[in-house]
Structure 1
Amino acid sequence: MVSQRAADVTPFMAMDVLERANERDDVIHLEVGEPDFSPPDRVIETAVDSLRAGHTNYTAARGKPALRRAIATYYDRTYGVAVDPNRVVVTPGTSPGLFLAMAALVDSGDEVVLTDPHYACYPNFVRVADGEVTTVPLDASEGFQPRVDDFAAAVGPDTRALLLNSPANPTGAVMDGETLSGLVDVAADAGATPVVDEVYHGLSYDATEHTVLEYTDDAFVLDGFSKRFAMTGWRLGWVIVPPDYVEAVNRLAQNVLICAPNFVQDAGVAALETPADRLDEVRATYRERRDLLVDAVEDWGIDLGYTPQGAYYLLADVSDLPGDALDVADLFLEAGVAVTPGVDFGDEAAEYLRFSYATDADAIETAIDRIDDLLATVGR
């Protein structure tokens, strides 16, 4: 019999839509966050060189010292924050880092507070740790920015963690420093620990990014190489661990993860040494795509209510279109455009669709034309 823990894990609808879309011909994929860029050439060359050098054996569970030092240097260079490399645990992707954080923090019945909308998988990580989910609603008219007072009202004696994300999936919202600092204070007052997913850092357009480590060492920070370095299939990430949790997380990593791939870790060092101008070009490209899609949504008569500041998503309210958001997503798929229904991201997003602009502008323009034609047939 399947365990209740496994039964409580919900499907990841974006992947369901992808599977359905792949069964059709000529579909524009705006449903998944898969960058269409290639990794930097030096990253690929380093991985090949490492393989040829025979770096295919196990490493320490927490990762190779050179990569952990490079990650610590990244925080100093980018944010002026000193991170002890011993607090860095390298993981095979960012999601395993979140698993380690939840496993280290959450006991049965403990509460984790997160935003709504939120990344679809967050509640499932809490449930797998046998924790309870409490959500704080966000509003498009406020740019999907968290309110510190709402979090303060949501925490309680059972709150163990605040799970935050900036730049955010699915909204593209970026928290300012005052908000992030205020949420750190809320967590401290509640005896809780911030767990902050920063995997979209480096992909902000109209806002300054802040790491939670600017405000506290008592936080888990999740990040990785998938998004800004277009290394999704390489499965390489990291978690910065609060000092008191280092040994516990290392033990968990030893047992659950073993280690991230050896040669991929060498490639990670090369990625972190990539010249900044490459990422400038990536950001500029995403900004152009965002503006193209934002203009199109407004032309469809949909009041977006905000402009995404980072990542490569926007969340659009389609409640004025025929049917519910699931029906609209099905209509779009019939027209050859795959998008993700907002119900994947929480109750507050149930009437929304998430559009990803992690694909080239020509494809986005084709998708816009198809939706234009579709909406003309339903009277929009």
Structure 2
Amino acid sequence: MNERWIAGRMAHIDASGIRKAFEMARAMKDPINLSIGMPNFDVDEPVKQAAYEAIRDGFNQYSVTQGVAELRAKLQARVDEAHGQPDRQVIVTSGTAGALMLAMLATVEPGDQVIVFDPYFVMYNHQVTMAGGETVLIDTYPDFRIRAEAVAAAITPRTKAVIVNSPVNPTGVVATAEELQALAELCREKGVLLISDEVYQAFCYDRPFRSPADWNEDVLVVDGFSKTYGMTGWRLGFAHGPSRLIQEMTKLQQFSFICAPTPLQVAAVHALDQDLTGHIEAYRRKRDLVVEGLAGLYDLPRPEGAFYAFPRAPWGTASEFCAEAARRELLIIPGNVFSRRDTHFRISYAVADDVLKRGLDVLRDLAERGA
């Protein structure tokens, strides 16, 4: 093959370290898989039934690009109730990842800078690269808090956007209202777009969820159904923000994803009525198992949301520690997948209790015995 066919940008995009864990799991006999950020509950039965019926009833063609009218209207009503901003519009997308990609391509030009907090979700910097931009990382170690003064110091004339994620993947930290307000007001003052990834907003355990859109009407929010309703494979997301930006994202969706899967959009109308209390309480309890199980052995900033914990490796680099864990059939993700640092590792506790307890047993043993 002629190497000239491959675009130069591909040299700056690595294969996902999380996907590598999928491959490792397949090669193991009885893996303790705490690596994948995927809900361990299934789609609610009435929602499945709605999907079957939508397919049977012929909802199998393209929808309008913005999304099925009933779903969009229901989302719009929720957004209006939460924010009360007359210019805020909704678009249904092919996953939250699709919403982020549309946002990057609609706003970032070659040479633009996008500020991202470190540790970060693995997709952010690569999507910035695909749009021709440059990622500027702001270190949040050791407590993973957002500090507006650090953002202010990083803003330059080339800064186009800031991406914030709360609850955070990979740390599980939930930003406070004060942190988000300061960030939202700073971005408004500086004329910088704030993109808020709120895909885990349903899973907050110690403090109420707040969106920076509460203080800045120009915030673009990306969200989705995957984590909240256990439908990662359905590829349904949505975004809401200033109407002009949503219109530009809609234009891009016409020439890329076209639309989100139509019958699944129809079914998702019913998902919005689902009571999530049981799932949220189950993950709160799993979070507590992790915190209690690692107490005294690991430096672990308390995870307050999502379904992740991000402890510091008790010896060696995180990569070395995770390699030793894998030799004991435990799959966890080293921090350098999410960060410039290789000091911490990510646990996903979105697993059955018995799997989580086996994993915690291995982690305690690793900490007590060393390498």
TM-score range, shorter chain: over 0.9
**Quick one: distance in 2 between partners of 1:375 and 1:22?**
26
CA deviation string 1:320-347 (max 9, x = no partner): 31x3211111111111110001001111
Q: Indicate how the Cα distance of structure 1 residues 371 and 336 shifts in structure 2: closer, same or farther if over 3 A, else same.
A: same
1:35 and 1:248 map into 2 onto residues whose CA distance is 32
1:374 is displaced (CA, Å) by: 4.2
Per the normalisation by structure 1, the TM-score is: 0.93
Give the deviation of 1:81 after TM superposition.
1.9
Following the alignment from structure 1 to structure 2, what is the Cα–Cα distance between the partners of residues 210 and 259? 29
For residue 280 of structure 2, the aligned residue among 270, 278, 283 is 283
Three-state SS of the structure 2 residue aligned to 1:228 is: helix
Among candidates 366, 369, 372, match of residue 358 of structure 2: 366
* Cα contact 1:218–1:243 (8 A) shared by 2: no
In structure 1, what is the Cα distance between the partners aligned to 2:331 and 2:163? 28
Which residue is equivalent to 2:323?
330
Q: Write the mapping of 1:118-133 to structure 2, written as runs, cut at 5 A.
A: 118-133=120-135
Partner Cα separation in structure 2 for residue 25 and residue 244 of structure 1? 52
Alignment equivalent of 1:313, drawn from 308, 311, 326:
308
CA drift of 1:256 comes to 0.8
Q: Determine the C-alpha separation between the residues in 2 that align with 1:303 and 1:223.
A: 30
Q: How does 1:27-46 map to 2 (within 5 A)?
A: 27-46=31-50
1:74 counterpart letter in structure 2: R
Structure 2 counterpart of 1:11: 15
C-alpha separation in 2, matches of 1:254 and 1:217:
26
Q: What does the per-residue CA deviation read over 1:191-223, in whole Å, with 9 as the maximum and x for residues that have no partner?
A: 210011000011000011112221222121110
Cα distance change, pair 46–83 in 1 and its aligned pair in 2 (3 A): farther
Partner of 1:225: 225
Question: Residue 296 of structure 1 corresponds to which residue in structure 2?
Answer: 293
1:96-135 residue pairs with structure 2 within 5 A?
96-135=98-137
Structure 1 unaligned segments of length 5 or more: list them.
none
Distance 2:141 2:320 in 1: 23
Number of residues of Structure 1 aligned to a counterpart in Structure 2:
367
Deviation at 1:21, TM superposition (A): 2.0
Q: Give the residue type in structure 1 aligned to 2:299.
A: D
Letter matched to residue 334 of structure 1: R
Q: Is the Cα contact below 8 Å between 2:88 and 2:240 reproduced in 1?
A: no
Question: Kindly tell me: are residues 375 and 185 of structure 1, through their superposed partners in 2, closer, same or farther at Cα, counting changes over 3 Å?
Answer: closer
Computed over aligned residues only, the root mean square deviation of the Cα atoms, in angstroms, reads: 1.6
- Corresponding residue for residue 51 of structure 1: 55
Give distance in 2, aligned partners of 1:269 and 1:128: 32
Equivalent residue runs for 1:244-255 within 5 Å: 244-255=244-255
User: TM-score of the superposition, structure 2-length normalised?
Assistant: 0.95
Q: Contact 1:167–1:201 (CA<8 Å) still a contact in 2? A: yes
**8 Å Cα contact 2:87-2:242 kept in structure 1:** no
Q: Could you tell which deviates more after superposition, 84-93 or 43-52?
A: 84-93
Structure 2 runs not aligned, ≥5 long: none
Cα displacement (A) at 1:124: 0.3
Alpha-carbon distance in 1 for matches of 2:43, 2:230: 5
Q: Give the corresponding residue for 1:343.
A: 336
Instruction: List aligned pairs for 1:232-243, cutoff 5 A.
Output: 232-243=232-243
* Corresponding residue of 1:154: 154
Larger mean CA deviation between 95-104 and 364-373 belongs to 364-373
Structure 1 residues 29 and 91, CA gap change in structure 2 (3 angstroms): same
For each residue in 1:28-59, what CA deviation from the matched residue of structure 2 results, as whole angstroms up to 9, or x when unmatched? 11111011101112211110110110110001
Q: Does 1:197 align with 2:197?
A: yes
Q: What secondary structure sits across from 2:59 in the alignment?
A: coil
Structure 1 distance, partners of 2:135, 2:339, is: 11
AA of the residue aligned to 1:326: S
User: Within 2, Cα distance between the matches of 1:232 and 1:316?
Assistant: 25
1:288: Cα distance to partner? 1.0
Note if contact 2:31-2:331 (Cα within 8 Å) is conserved in structure 1: yes
Distance 1:273 1:168 in 2: 25
- Structure 2 residue matching 1:62: 3-state secondary structure: coil
Shift of residue 83, structure 1, vs aligned partner: 5.8
CA contact (8 A) 1:114 1:134 kept: yes
SS of residue in 2 equivalent to 1:283: helix
Deviations 1:95-154 (A, max 9, x none): 0100000011100000000101111111001000000111111123x3x11001111111
After TM superposition, list the pairs within 5 Å mapping 1:155-170 onto structure 2.
155-170=155-170
Aligned partner of 1:257 in structure 2 is 257
1:173 CA displacement? 1.1
Q: Which amino acid aligns with 2:135?
A: V
Whether the 8 Å contact between 1:157 and 1:190 is mirrored in structure 2 is: no
Instruction: Give, in angstroms, the shift of residue 373 of structure 1.
Output: 3.9
